[in-house]
Protein backbone atom coordinates (compact mmCIF):
# COMPACT_ATOMS: atom_id res chain seq x y z
CA UNK A 1 0.00 0.00 0.00
CA UNK A 2 1.28 3.43 -0.97
CA UNK A 3 0.64 6.40 1.35
CA UNK A 4 1.96 9.95 1.33
CA UNK A 5 1.60 13.24 3.18
CA UNK A 6 3.00 16.76 2.81
CA UNK A 7 6.34 17.21 4.55
CA UNK A 8 7.32 19.91 7.01
CA UNK A 9 10.04 20.67 4.46
CA UNK A 10 8.53 23.09 1.97
CA UNK A 11 7.46 21.41 -1.26
CA UNK A 12 8.48 17.91 -0.18
CA UNK A 13 6.31 14.81 0.27
CA UNK A 14 6.87 12.00 2.77
CA UNK A 15 5.74 8.57 1.61
CA UNK A 16 5.72 4.86 2.37
CA UNK A 17 5.14 1.85 0.12
CA UNK A 18 4.41 -1.36 2.01
CA UNK A 19 3.70 -4.71 0.30
CA UNK A 20 0.53 -6.50 1.40
CA UNK A 21 1.12 -8.93 4.25
CA UNK A 22 -1.29 -11.45 2.70
CA UNK A 23 -1.05 -11.27 -1.11
CA UNK A 24 -3.41 -14.23 -1.51
CA UNK A 25 -2.98 -17.41 -3.54
CA UNK A 26 -2.12 -15.70 -6.84
CA UNK A 27 1.42 -14.50 -7.61
CA UNK A 28 1.98 -10.90 -6.62
CA UNK A 29 1.86 -8.51 -9.60
CA UNK A 30 4.96 -6.48 -10.47
CA UNK A 31 5.39 -3.20 -8.65
CA UNK A 32 4.11 -0.13 -10.46
CA UNK A 33 6.73 1.89 -12.33
CA UNK A 34 8.07 5.11 -10.82
CA UNK A 35 7.41 7.78 -13.42
CA UNK A 36 9.53 10.88 -14.17
CA UNK A 37 8.30 13.84 -12.11
CA UNK A 38 11.27 16.24 -11.84
CA UNK A 39 11.98 15.19 -8.25
CA UNK A 40 14.69 13.32 -6.37
CA UNK A 41 14.08 11.13 -3.32
CA UNK A 42 15.95 10.19 -0.16
CA UNK A 43 15.01 6.55 0.48
CA UNK A 44 15.11 3.98 3.28
CA UNK A 45 14.70 0.24 2.70
CA UNK A 46 16.02 -2.87 4.41
CA UNK A 47 18.43 -0.96 6.62
CA UNK A 48 19.93 1.16 3.82
CA UNK A 49 19.78 4.82 2.93
CA UNK A 50 19.66 5.47 -0.82
CA UNK A 51 19.10 8.32 -3.24
CA UNK A 52 16.86 8.19 -6.31
CA UNK A 53 18.15 10.57 -8.94
CA UNK A 54 16.00 12.45 -11.45
CA UNK A 55 14.35 10.12 -13.94
CA UNK A 56 13.98 10.56 -17.68
CA UNK A 57 12.23 7.20 -18.06
CA UNK A 58 10.09 4.95 -15.91
CA UNK A 59 11.93 3.06 -13.19
CA UNK A 60 10.62 -0.41 -12.37
CA UNK A 61 11.91 -1.78 -9.04
CA UNK A 62 13.45 -5.22 -9.38
CA UNK A 63 13.45 -8.10 -6.93
CA UNK A 64 10.65 -9.10 -4.55
CA UNK A 65 8.47 -6.33 -3.07
CA UNK A 66 9.90 -4.88 0.16
CA UNK A 67 8.86 -1.94 2.37
CA UNK A 68 10.11 1.48 1.33
CA UNK A 69 10.03 4.87 3.01
CA UNK A 70 11.09 8.11 1.40
CA UNK A 71 10.97 11.85 1.19
CA UNK A 72 10.38 13.24 -2.29
CA UNK A 73 12.15 16.58 -2.57
CA UNK A 74 10.77 19.49 -4.55
CA UNK A 75 12.37 19.78 -8.03
CA UNK A 76 15.74 21.52 -7.85
CA UNK A 77 16.24 21.28 -4.07
CA UNK A 78 17.99 17.91 -3.62
CA UNK A 79 21.45 18.81 -5.02
CA UNK A 80 22.05 21.45 -2.34
CA UNK A 81 21.03 18.97 0.37
CA UNK A 82 23.14 16.13 -1.04
CA UNK A 83 26.10 18.17 -2.26
CA UNK A 84 25.96 16.45 -5.67
CA UNK A 85 24.83 17.92 -9.02
CA UNK A 86 21.61 16.31 -10.17
CA UNK A 87 22.97 15.32 -13.59
CA UNK A 88 25.46 12.96 -11.89
CA UNK A 89 22.51 10.97 -10.51
CA UNK A 90 20.23 11.07 -13.55
CA UNK A 91 18.33 7.75 -13.98
CA UNK A 92 20.26 6.20 -11.08
CA UNK A 93 19.60 4.73 -7.63
CA UNK A 94 22.71 4.93 -5.45
CA UNK A 95 23.67 4.23 -1.86
CA UNK A 96 23.99 7.37 0.23
CA UNK A 97 27.38 5.98 1.31
CA UNK A 98 28.55 6.52 -2.28
CA UNK A 99 27.94 10.25 -1.84
CA UNK A 100 28.76 10.95 1.82
CA UNK A 101 31.50 9.70 4.17
CA UNK A 102 30.87 6.13 5.32
CA UNK A 103 31.05 6.87 9.10
CA UNK A 104 28.44 9.60 8.74
CA UNK A 105 26.12 7.33 6.76
CA UNK A 106 26.52 4.52 9.33
CA UNK A 107 25.45 6.96 12.05
CA UNK A 108 22.45 8.08 10.02
CA UNK A 109 21.51 4.48 9.20
CA UNK A 110 21.48 3.65 12.89
CA UNK A 111 19.41 6.75 13.61
CA UNK A 112 16.74 5.87 11.04
CA UNK A 113 16.73 2.18 12.06
CA UNK A 114 16.12 3.15 15.70
CA UNK A 115 13.18 5.36 14.85
CA UNK A 116 9.68 3.86 15.20
CA UNK A 117 8.79 5.85 12.06
CA UNK A 118 11.54 5.88 9.42
CA UNK A 119 9.68 8.58 7.50
CA UNK A 120 9.91 10.92 10.48
CA UNK A 121 13.65 10.29 10.75
CA UNK A 122 14.13 10.90 7.02
CA UNK A 123 12.12 14.10 7.26
CA UNK A 124 14.20 15.36 10.19
CA UNK A 125 17.41 14.51 8.35
CA UNK A 126 16.26 16.49 5.32
CA UNK A 127 15.14 19.44 7.45
CA UNK A 128 18.54 19.56 9.16
CA UNK A 129 20.47 19.62 5.89
CA UNK A 130 18.22 21.45 3.47
CA UNK A 131 19.49 24.74 2.06
CA UNK A 132 17.20 27.74 1.60
CA UNK A 133 15.29 27.35 -1.69
CA UNK A 134 16.65 29.17 -4.70
CA UNK A 135 13.90 31.67 -5.59
CA UNK A 136 14.82 31.67 -9.28
CA UNK A 137 14.56 27.89 -9.51
CA UNK A 138 11.27 27.91 -7.62
CA UNK A 139 9.85 30.45 -10.05
CA UNK A 140 11.13 28.41 -13.00
CA UNK A 141 9.48 25.21 -11.76
CA UNK A 142 6.21 27.00 -11.00
CA UNK A 143 6.12 28.60 -14.45
CA UNK A 144 6.90 25.38 -16.32
CA UNK A 145 4.47 23.39 -14.18
CA UNK A 146 1.78 25.89 -15.19
CA UNK A 147 2.60 25.37 -18.86
CA UNK A 148 4.62 28.52 -19.56
CA UNK A 149 7.05 28.23 -22.53
CA UNK A 150 10.72 27.82 -21.63
CA UNK A 151 11.93 30.81 -23.66
CA UNK A 152 9.29 33.16 -22.25
CA UNK A 153 10.05 31.98 -18.72
CA UNK A 154 13.78 32.54 -19.21
CA UNK A 155 13.08 36.08 -20.40
CA UNK A 156 10.85 36.75 -17.40
CA UNK A 157 13.58 35.50 -15.07
CA UNK A 158 16.29 37.47 -16.85
CA UNK A 159 18.40 34.37 -17.54
CA UNK A 160 20.14 33.61 -20.83
CA UNK A 161 19.58 30.27 -22.54
CA UNK A 162 23.06 28.89 -21.80
CA UNK A 163 23.01 29.90 -18.15
CA UNK A 164 19.53 28.45 -17.74
CA UNK A 165 20.68 25.15 -19.26
CA UNK A 166 23.72 24.96 -16.95
CA UNK A 167 21.69 25.74 -13.87
CA UNK A 168 19.03 23.26 -14.89
CA UNK A 169 21.54 20.43 -15.34
CA UNK A 170 22.86 21.03 -11.83
CA UNK A 171 19.46 21.46 -10.20
CA UNK A 172 17.22 19.06 -12.11
CA UNK A 173 19.57 16.68 -13.93
CA UNK A 174 18.52 17.76 -17.43
CA UNK A 175 17.79 20.88 -19.43
CA UNK A 176 14.73 23.10 -18.97
CA UNK A 177 12.97 21.74 -22.06
CA UNK A 178 13.12 18.19 -20.68
CA UNK A 179 11.88 19.46 -17.32
CA UNK A 180 9.00 21.23 -19.06
CA UNK A 181 8.04 18.04 -20.91
CA UNK A 182 8.14 15.97 -17.70
CA UNK A 183 5.98 18.48 -15.83
CA UNK A 184 3.57 18.55 -18.78
CA UNK A 185 3.37 14.76 -18.61
CA UNK A 186 2.50 14.98 -14.91
CA UNK A 187 -0.25 17.51 -15.70
CA UNK A 188 -1.66 15.16 -18.32
CA UNK A 189 -1.59 12.14 -16.01
CA UNK A 190 -3.40 14.07 -13.28
CA UNK A 191 -6.11 15.10 -15.74
CA UNK A 192 -6.51 11.62 -17.22
CA UNK A 193 -6.66 10.00 -13.76
CA UNK A 194 -9.45 12.39 -12.82
CA UNK A 195 -11.52 11.10 -15.74
CA UNK A 196 -10.87 13.79 -18.36
CA UNK A 197 -11.11 12.24 -21.89
CA UNK A 198 -7.76 11.75 -23.59
CA UNK A 199 -8.32 14.36 -26.31
CA UNK A 200 -9.34 16.97 -23.74
CA UNK A 201 -6.41 15.94 -21.55
CA UNK A 202 -4.01 16.55 -24.43
CA UNK A 203 -5.45 20.00 -25.15
CA UNK A 204 -5.59 21.13 -21.52
CA UNK A 205 -2.09 19.85 -20.70
CA UNK A 206 -0.53 21.70 -23.65
CA UNK A 207 -0.03 18.99 -26.29
CA UNK A 208 -0.63 19.61 -29.98
CA UNK A 209 -3.12 16.73 -30.10
CA UNK A 210 -3.86 13.32 -28.61
CA UNK A 211 -1.21 11.63 -30.78
CA UNK A 212 1.42 14.01 -29.38
CA UNK A 213 0.35 13.07 -25.85
CA UNK A 214 0.54 9.37 -26.71
CA UNK A 215 4.10 9.72 -28.08
CA UNK A 216 5.34 11.55 -24.99
CA UNK A 217 3.72 9.04 -22.64
CA UNK A 218 5.35 6.17 -24.53
CA UNK A 219 8.75 7.89 -24.63
CA UNK A 220 8.89 8.68 -20.90
CA UNK A 221 7.11 5.64 -19.46
CA UNK A 222 7.40 2.84 -22.01
CA UNK A 223 3.64 2.28 -21.73
CA UNK A 224 0.43 3.60 -23.19
CA UNK A 225 -1.75 6.01 -21.25
CA UNK A 226 -4.39 3.32 -20.90
CA UNK A 227 -1.87 0.87 -19.44
CA UNK A 228 -0.73 3.46 -16.90
CA UNK A 229 -4.27 4.25 -15.80
CA UNK A 230 -5.06 0.56 -15.36
As a whole number of angstroms, the distance between CA 184 and CA 176 comes to: 12
4 Cβ contact list (under 8 Å, min separation 6): 13, 14, 15, 16, 72
Mean pLDDT of 8-25: 84
As a whole number of angstroms, the distance between CA 196 and CA 166 comes to: 36
Using pLDDT thresholds of 50, 70 and 90, give the confidence band for residue 63. confident
Using only the alpha carbons of the chain, give its radius of gyration: 18
pLDDT above 80: residue 25: no
pLDDT above 70: residue 66: yes
As a whole number of angstroms, the distance between CA 218 and CA 198 comes to: 14
Mean pLDDT of 124-152: 96
**pLDDT reported for residue 27:** 42
CB of 68 within 8 A of CB of 46?
A: no
Mean pLDDT of 188-211: 97
Using pLDDT thresholds of 50, 70 and 90, give the confidence band for residue 29. very low
pLDDT above 90: residue 117: yes
Among the listed residues 128, 120, 80, 72, the one whose alpha carbon sits nearest the alpha carbon of residue 104: 128
pLDDT above 80: residue 28: no
Higher pLDDT, 182 or 133: 182
Mean pLDDT of 88-92: 98
The chain-wide mean pLDDT, for the chain, equals 94
As a whole number of angstroms, the distance between CA 65 and CA 47 comes to: 15
- Integer angstrom CA distances of residue 210 from 223, 224, 225: 15, 12, 11
As a whole number of angstroms, the distance between CA 223 and CA 86 comes to: 26
Using pLDDT thresholds of 50, 70 and 90, give the confidence band for residue 20. confident
pLDDT above 90: residue 61: no
pLDDT above 90: residue 209: yes
**pLDDT reported for residue 21:** 75
First to last CA, the chain: 16
Amino acid sequence: MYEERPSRLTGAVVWTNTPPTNPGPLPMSPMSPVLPDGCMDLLWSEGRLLVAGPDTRAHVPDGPPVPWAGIRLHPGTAPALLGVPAHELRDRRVELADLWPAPEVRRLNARVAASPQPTAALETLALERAAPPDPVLRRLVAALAAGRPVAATADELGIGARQLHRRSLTAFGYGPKTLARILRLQRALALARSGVPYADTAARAGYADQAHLARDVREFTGRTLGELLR
